[in-house]
């Protein structure tokens, strides 16, 4: 069994016999973990949940030693003797000066330290439900932190950002900042939080979001300053600290096995609560010599002598470094006796943070990194032993030496001298042979347990070489490959839309017409009357139209709520799940409500309305979150170049890729919608209950599909801060411009650089946040043109179905042709994606976003003109003339004359809807994309509301104008749209944070005064 042999040895040597059985015959539950709560504790087997219940919640420290096999490490964890523990640290061969010699350099960097980044980062970290090392949220938080570190590190191509994965969900993150020596100086903080189980709310603002953002800020400052360290610096973000120092134990055990030299590790755990107003240096389970050195740094760079305290066994990650033989120190916000009472509870919130304390710790961390980057290794040759290769001096002399390999430990002893000017020991990079092969997927949270995953700007540039300015203007643009998870989610959308449009297709006849005379009582027709219509409730045209429009209105208003709850509260993926559940309940009720017995008894209205509203709610929560999640799976949303097999060098373009993904997505929507054609035949010739059952069966494939794609799906957490900033910036801009939204400097006035230059005030948002707000509202302006266009796509209300009912059908359902819309889209979408768009790109013809939407508007205008002409011909040829809707006879005009109207409307959707999805994603802040998609979908609701207003005009003898009037309005609108927005064709598709300078750079920002 796992570790029994090792623990048996350890038990005999270090008093663990009571905890670990000495025989393999004794079985231990593999789910149990062995923890120690003191040096003398023999160890206790507990479950993961019991760690919090019995220890963490009661303020008791512990170390999980289940996976520790090295006797020397176990011995170090079983003694409080600093001398004994320091024997391991002595092998690092480093001495610490008693004076600081790089104060001027450090102070110049410290002037760059601010709370702007830490405040923004901590808002994000605390918005996760928790950062528990075994929860999905904890993994998502680690992924976010990884991406943030990569973004910061992109300013220095030598820096690497690495995932260190574990046997539990959450990976640790390591940022390596290379120096001229491979000797390491480490600053670390744990990234996890806990307040109970994996679902418990644990904001972890102080413990240890505050320490995490301090380490990030120190990294940002050094990168921005172009700092060049002598020793290699590492920035560690440990997973699983709250589970017994799991992440840091694994990392330092790895470093120990690899023979890495660590000159010092500074632990930052809790930095945002300090009633005493000064930092505290802890003195237990640390290296005393290194801690004395750190005390000098704290005093110098905070302006006050630090307090002293001790925190007990298993207190934090410095103990992992110490037990593995690496010198460590621990700086905290406050002495243990007055430490933050809110930690490990839901009360440890962003609002409780004292930002002056965070700033103090950020400054001392930068000071530490500058000073420690110059630490030197001093050796002397031990009497009686041979000189190491390369030695040029006699025994007992200080010497300069170049080792071709690591020296034997017995050849070296530490020479305790301070302040001498000695040369560094230079040796080969200790990284050699340490890491497994680099992963091909740089941000895959499901990477193999126990491996190190590398990523940096260097790796990115190697895998995704960015284009030069010339290449950007000359190379042919192509789309990237579509991730498998995106394809899977397209199938999910297809199944949902198949069921949604399937049942919706039956609504009109179900509501408008009564049970057919001579029919079987299920809603189906008498087979001897092929030109009659299926029906059930007999509520009439206007009621059916009103309920049809209301359903559309609700299904596209509720997405605003669905997007808000996803972006702010539960995340997109969970919102999708809730939408699926509510929709499933709706389908069950709808099927039961269409039972023949209920319809014949006239009791079908109540169950229909219940299912009707539930289906609108479920679809409203589901719909705004699917498209952004599909695009989220496409991770490298930046331009890069590659060489095709043909030898042609091309530019892989994010806009082209996202457009391609959305074309596929929209085609899948319509594959699902095409399902409605079967439904209209089933309702006419069999029953409504079966017409509702078939879509219901398809619907219940959704949970199966979601479960199958769960692990490979990128599931972003909620980030309410983006929405909060968006609202704050918008309100500030309205105030600054006194409500003049047409002001040329509307956005310029609220840029951080403008505010700082005019009032020397720093704000909590960035230049990119302002540009995101500008671009988002620009997208919303474009969306406002959609309601009138939508009235022209199939006509107002049920006029198309009503028109078909007055024409000769030859046995075809009256609403059949309207359901050919998806068939046209299914055929035309791949034609556009594979033929038209590539042809235009090969010819160098730019066909921008506004051009595509304008094309769609023109096609819809022509569609309405055709609809008006057909309606006129129906009136002219109907036996009842201009009262054709209620006529027992029909026009000899074939229903197939509706095909041009249907086809042009469908083609217009490819140009309008697909482009609108792209704009909603690309122009929105990262964690507001569901909300902006919902605003786009809301335009359909506005169109339905407009249709409700027009309902009184829908009827004989004025149905020609029901087609013509919207067409005329759209023609006028199209001209205005092109004139006002054609410049967006030339705007950048997506923006990135690094494209914007900070206000301290003094460089020009991206939104010049006068740009609107």
Give the model confidence (pLDDT) of 489-510 as tens digits.
999 999 998 888 888 888 888 8
pLDDT above 50: residue 197: yes
Dihedral of CA 672/677/680/685: which sign? negative
Predicted local distance difference test score (pLDDT) of residue 640: 87
Q: For the chain, give the percent of residues with pLDDT over 70.
A: 82
> What is the average pLDDT across 591-599?
90
Contact predicate 20/43, CB 8 Å: yes
Q: In a 10 Å sphere around its CB, with 0-12 CB exposed, 13-18 middle and 19+ buried, how is residue 466 labelled? A: middle
Contact predicate 590/510, CB 8 Å: no
| Confidence band of 377 (pLDDT split at 50, 70, 90) | low
Token look-up 């709610």 returns 617
3-state secondary structure 792-831: CCCCCCCHHHHHHHCEECCCCCCCCHHHHHHHHHHHHHHH
Predicted local distance difference test score (pLDDT) of residue 441: 31
Which residue, among 457, 463, 504, 768, has the nearest Cα to 611 in the 3D structure? 504
Q: How far apart are CA 925 and CA 776, in angstroms?
A: 8
Predicted local distance difference test score (pLDDT) of residue 990: 63
| Local structure of 741: helix, strand or coil | coil
Poorest-confidence range of 24-28, 301-305, 778-782? 24-28
Predicted local distance difference test score (pLDDT) of residue 422: 33
SS3 content of the chain, % helix, strand, coil (to 5): 55, 10, 40
Predicted local distance difference test score (pLDDT) of residue 997: 42
pLDDT above 70: residue 878: yes
Which residue intervals of 633-761 are DSSP H helices?
A: 654-673, 676-685, 688-699, 702-709, 720-736, 752-759
pLDDT above 70: residue 920: yes
b/e per residue, 402-438, with b = 16+ CB within 10 A? Answer: eeeeebeeeebbbbeeeeeebebbebeebeeeeeeee
pLDDT above 70: residue 600: yes
Poorest-confidence range of 82-86, 316-320, 932-936, 988-992? 82-86
Q: How far apart are CA 856 and CA 792, in angstroms?
A: 11
φ/ψ of residue 537, rounded to 5: -95, -25
What mean pLDDT is reported for the chain? 80
Q: What are the residues whose beta carbons fall under 8 Å from the beta carbon of 645, sequence distance 6 or more?
A: none
Which residue, among 517, 536, 683, 523, has the nearest Cα to 605 in the 3D structure? 536
| Local structure of 253: helix, strand or coil | helix
Q: What are the residues whose beta carbons fall under 8 Å from the beta carbon of 485, sequence distance 6 or more?
A: 633, 709, 712, 713, 714
Q: How far apart are CA 76 and CA 88, in angstroms?
A: 9
Predicted local distance difference test score (pLDDT) of residue 18: 36
435-484 pLDDT, tens digit each: 333 333 333 333 322 333 333 333 355 567 888 767 777 888 888 888 88
| Confidence band of 112 (pLDDT split at 50, 70, 90) | very high
Poorest-confidence range of 61-70, 452-461, 699-708, 769-778? 452-461
Q: In a 10 Å sphere around its CB, with 0-12 CB exposed, 13-18 middle and 19+ buried, how is residue 478 labelled? A: middle
Contact predicate 61/207, CB 8 Å: no
Contact predicate 504/583, CB 8 Å: no
pLDDT above 80: residue 906: yes
pLDDT above 50: residue 1001: no
Q: How many residues does the chain have?
A: 1012
Name the token pair of 490. 């397209």
> What is the average pLDDT across 298-312?
89
Q: How far apart are CA 761 and CA 752, in angstroms?
A: 8
Predicted local distance difference test score (pLDDT) of residue 60: 87
Q: In a 10 Å sphere around its CB, with 0-12 CB exposed, 13-18 middle and 19+ buried, how is residue 146 labelled? A: buried
Predicted local distance difference test score (pLDDT) of residue 388: 39
pLDDT above 70: residue 16: no
Q: How far apart are CA 579 and CA 783, in angstroms?
A: 24
**Highest-scoring range by mean pLDDT, 39-53, 60-74, 969-983:** 969-983
Q: How far apart are CA 125 and CA 132, in angstroms?
A: 12
Q: What are the residues whose beta carbons fall under 8 Å from the beta carbon of 109, sequence distance 6 or more?
A: 221, 222, 225, 227, 366, 370
Name the token pair of 713. 């799906």
| Confidence band of 542 (pLDDT split at 50, 70, 90) | confident
| Confidence band of 191 (pLDDT split at 50, 70, 90) | very high
772/18: higher pLDDT: 772
> What is the average pLDDT across 283-305?
90
Predicted local distance difference test score (pLDDT) of residue 481: 87
List Cα–Cα distances, 1011 to 249, 745, 827, 877, in angstroms: 53, 7, 41, 57
pLDDT above 90: residue 790: no
Predicted local distance difference test score (pLDDT) of residue 1000: 35
Predicted local distance difference test score (pLDDT) of residue 450: 33
Name all domains of the chain by residue range, CATH numbers in brackets: 4-66 (no CATH), 90-376+449-463 (3.40.630.10), 464-715 (1.20.1250.20), 787-996 (1.20.1250.20)
Q: What angle do CA 476, 477, 479 make, to 5 degrees?
A: 140
φ/ψ of residue 341, rounded to 5: -80, -10
pLDDT above 60: residue 1002: no
Contact predicate 388/381, CB 8 Å: yes
> What is the average pLDDT across 150-162?
91
> What is the average pLDDT across 367-375?
94
Beta strands in 191-327 (DSSP E): 232-238, 262-268, 280-282, 307-309
> What is the average pLDDT across 734-750?
82
Q: How far apart are CA 893 and CA 883, in angstroms?
A: 15
> What is the average pLDDT across 737-742?
82
Contact predicate 849/928, CB 8 Å: no
φ/ψ of residue 856, rounded to 5: -60, -40
Contact predicate 669/910, CB 8 Å: no
pLDDT above 60: residue 238: yes
Which residue, among 773, 761, 690, has the nearest Cα to 725 in the 3D structure? 773
């Amino acid at each position: 069994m796992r570790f029994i042999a090792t623990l048996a040895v350890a038990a005999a040597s270090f008093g663990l016999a009571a905890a670990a059985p000495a025989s393999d015959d004794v079985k231990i539950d593999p789910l149990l973990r062995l923890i120690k709560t003191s040096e003398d504790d023999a160890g206790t087997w507990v479950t993961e949940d019991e760690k919090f219940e019995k220890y963490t919640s009661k303020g008791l420290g512990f170390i999980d030693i289940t996976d520790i096999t090295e006797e020397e490490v176990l011995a170090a964890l079983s003694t409080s003797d600093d001398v004994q523990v320091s024997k391991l640290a002595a092998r690092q061969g480093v001495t610490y000066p008693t004076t600081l010699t790089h104060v001027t350099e450090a102070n110049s960097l410290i002037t760059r330290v601010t709370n702007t980044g830490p405040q923004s980062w901590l808002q994000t970290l605390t918005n996760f439900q928790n950062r528990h090392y075994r929860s999905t949220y904890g993994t998502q938080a680690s992924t976010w932190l990884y991406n943030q570190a990569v973004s910061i590190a992109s300013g220095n191509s030598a820096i690497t950002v690495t995932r260190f994965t574990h046997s539990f969900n959450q990976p640790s993150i390591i940022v390596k900042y290379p120096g001229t020596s491979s000797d390491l100086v480490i600053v670390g903080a744990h990234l996890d939080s806990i307040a109970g189980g994996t679902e418990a709310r644990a904001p972890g603002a102080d413990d240890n979001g505050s320490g995490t953002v301090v380490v990030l800020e120190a990294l940002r400052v050094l990168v921005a300053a172009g700092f060049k360290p002598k020793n290699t610096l590492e920035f560690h973000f440990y997973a699983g600290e709250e589970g017994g120092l799991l992440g840091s134990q694994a990392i330092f055990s790895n470093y120990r096995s690899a023979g890495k030299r660590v000159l010092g590790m500074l632990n930052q755990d809790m930095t945002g609560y300090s009633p005493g107003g000064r930092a505290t240096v802890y003195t237990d389970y640390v290296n005393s010599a290194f801690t004395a050195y750190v005390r000098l740094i704290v005093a110098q760079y905070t302006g006050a002598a630090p307090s002293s305290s001790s925190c007990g066994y298993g207190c934090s990650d410095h103990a992992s470094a110490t037990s593995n033989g690496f010198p460590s120190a621990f700086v905290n916000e406050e002495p243990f006796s007055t430490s933050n009472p809110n930690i490990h509870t839901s009360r440890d919130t962003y609002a409780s943070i004292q930002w002056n304390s965070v700033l103090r710790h950020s400054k001392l961390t930068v000071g530490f990194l500058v000073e420690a980057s110059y630490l030197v290794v001093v050796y002397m040759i031990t009497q009686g032993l041979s000189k190491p290769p390369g030695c040029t001096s006699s025994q007992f002399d200080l010497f300069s030496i170049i080792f071709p390999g690591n020296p034997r430990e017995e050849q070296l002893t530490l020479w305790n001298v301070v302040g001498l000017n000695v040369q560094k020991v230079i040796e080969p990079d200790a990284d050699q042979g340490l890491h497994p092969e680099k992963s091909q997927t740089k941000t895959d949270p499901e990477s193999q347990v126990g491996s190190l995953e590398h990523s940096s700007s260097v790796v990115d540039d190697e895998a995704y070489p960015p284009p030069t300015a010339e290449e950007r203007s000359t190379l042919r643009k192509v789309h990237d490959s579509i991730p498998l998870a995106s394809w899977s989610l397209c199938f999910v959308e297809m199944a949902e839309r198949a069921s949604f449009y399937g049942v919706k297709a039956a609504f009109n006849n179900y509501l408008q017409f009564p049970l057919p005379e001579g029919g079987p009582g299920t809603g189906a027709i008498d087979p001897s009357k092929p030109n009659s219509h299926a029906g059930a409730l007999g509520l009439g045209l206007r009621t059916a139209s009103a309920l049809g429009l209301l359903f559309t209105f609700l299904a596209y208003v509720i997405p605003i709520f669905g997007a808000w709850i996803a972006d702010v509260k539960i995340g997109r993926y969970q919102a999708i799940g809730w939408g699926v559940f509510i929709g499933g309940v709706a389908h069950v009720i709808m099927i039961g409500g269409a039972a023949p017995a209920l319809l014949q008894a006239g009791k079908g209205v109540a169950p229909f309305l219940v299912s009707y509203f539930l289906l609108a709610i479920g679809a409203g929560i589901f719909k705004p979150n699917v498209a952004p999640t599909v695009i989220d799976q496409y991770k490298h949303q930046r331009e890069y170049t590659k060489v095709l097999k043909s030898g042609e060098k091309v530019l892989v373009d994010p806009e082209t890729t996202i457009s391609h993904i959305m074309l596929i997505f929209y085609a899948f929507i319509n594959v699902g919608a095409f399902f409605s054609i079967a439904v209209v035949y089933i309702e006419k010739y069999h029953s409504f209950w079966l017409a509702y059952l078939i879509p219901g069966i398809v619907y219940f494939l959704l949970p199966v599909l979601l479960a199958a794609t769960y692990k490979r799906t990128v599931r972003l957490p909620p980030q309410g801060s983006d929405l909060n900033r968006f609202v704050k910036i918008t309100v500030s801009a309205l105030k600054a411009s006194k409500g003049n939204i047409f002001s040329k400097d509307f956005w310029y006035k609220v840029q951080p650089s403008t505010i700082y230059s005019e009032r020397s005030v720093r704000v909590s948002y960035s230049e990119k946040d302002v540009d995101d707000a500008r671009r988002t509202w620009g997208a919303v302006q474009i969306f406002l043109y959609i309601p009138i266009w939508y009235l022209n796509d199939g006509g107002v209300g049920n006029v198309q179905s009503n028109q078909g009912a007055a024409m000769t059908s030859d046995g075809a359902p009256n609403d059949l042709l309207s359901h050919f819309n998806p068939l046209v889209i299914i055929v035309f979408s791949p034609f556009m994606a594979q033929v038209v768009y590539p042809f235009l790109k090969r010819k160098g013809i730019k066909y921008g976003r506004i051009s595509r939407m304008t094309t769609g508007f023109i096609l819809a205008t022509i569609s309405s003109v055709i609809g008006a002409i057909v309606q006129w011909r129906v009136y002219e040829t109907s036996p009842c003339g201009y009262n054709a809707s209620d006529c027992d006879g029909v026009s000899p005009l074939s229903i197939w004359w509706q095909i041009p109207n249907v086809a042009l409307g469908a083609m217009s959707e490819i140009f309008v809807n697909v482009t609108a999805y792209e704009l909603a994603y690309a122009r929105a802040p990262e964690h507001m994309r569901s909300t902006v998609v919902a605003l786009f979908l809301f335009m359909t609701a506005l169109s339905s509301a407009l249709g409700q207003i027009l309902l009184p005009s829908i009827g004989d003898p004025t149905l020609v104008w029901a087609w013509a009037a919207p067409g005329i309005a759209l023609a006028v609108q199209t001209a205005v749209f092109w004139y006002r927005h054609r410049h967006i064709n030339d705007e950048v598709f997506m923006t990135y944070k690094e494209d914007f300078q900070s206000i301290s750079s003094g460089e020009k920002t991206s939104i010049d005064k006068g740009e609107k």
